[in-house]
């Protein structure tokens, strides 16, 4: 599993209970959230490799991205989320940045 940088406040993964250290979280190998995050990053990498002229990609968010936002308290835990993720190719080889574009939350009645 790859380590992901987050804020300084310690937290635990809701799936594998891994604890953050110095703002980074490394999931255990069998963690569904960590595995899906790795698959999402590989999907973005493959897409940019197949489209070398593209500087950005717009797609629907993966459930793991929404779970990470919920885990950090940036998104409510209930309701539906609408919007897109814009993935931007960074200046270095293999660097990519995510920006959530027009992400909206709709609560359940």
Tell me the pTM: 0.73
What is the phi/psi pair of residue 5, to 5°? -80, 140
CA atoms within 13 A on the CB side of 20: 18
Residues 49-94 have pLDDT tens digits of 999 888 889 888 888 888 888 877 778 877 778 888 888 887 777 7
Contact 81, 75 (CB under 8 A): yes
| Chain segment 3-19, per-residue pLDDT in tens | 555 556 677 888 888 88
CA pair distance 109, 1, nearest whole angstrom: 38
**C-alpha distances in Å from residue 63, one per residue of 50, 55, 91, 97:** 23, 24, 27, 17
Convert the pLDDT of each residue in 14-53 to its tens digit: 888 888 888 777 888 899 988 988 898 899 989 989 998 8
So what's the pLDDT on residue 8?
A: 62
Instruction: For residue 97, give the H/E element and its range.
Output: strand 96-106
Q: Which pLDDT does position 105 carry in this prediction?
A: 74
What Å distances lie between residue 73 and 42, 57, 66, 69, 70, CA to CA?
A: 26, 26, 11, 6, 5
């Amino acid at each position: 599993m790859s380590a992901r940088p987050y804020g300084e406040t310690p937290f635990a993964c809701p799936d594998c209970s891994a604890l953050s250290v110095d703002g980074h979280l490394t999931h255990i190998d069998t963690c569904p959230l960590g595995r899906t995050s790795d698959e999402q990053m590989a999907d973005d990498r493959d897409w940019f490799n197949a489209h070398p002229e593209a500087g950005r990609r717009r797609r629907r968010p993966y459930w793991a991205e929404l779970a990470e936002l919920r885990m950090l308290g940036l998104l409510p835990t209930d309701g539906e989320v609408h919007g897109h993720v814009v993935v931007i190719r960074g200046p270095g080889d293999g660097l990519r940045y995510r920006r959530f574009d027009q992400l909206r939350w709709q609560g359940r009645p």
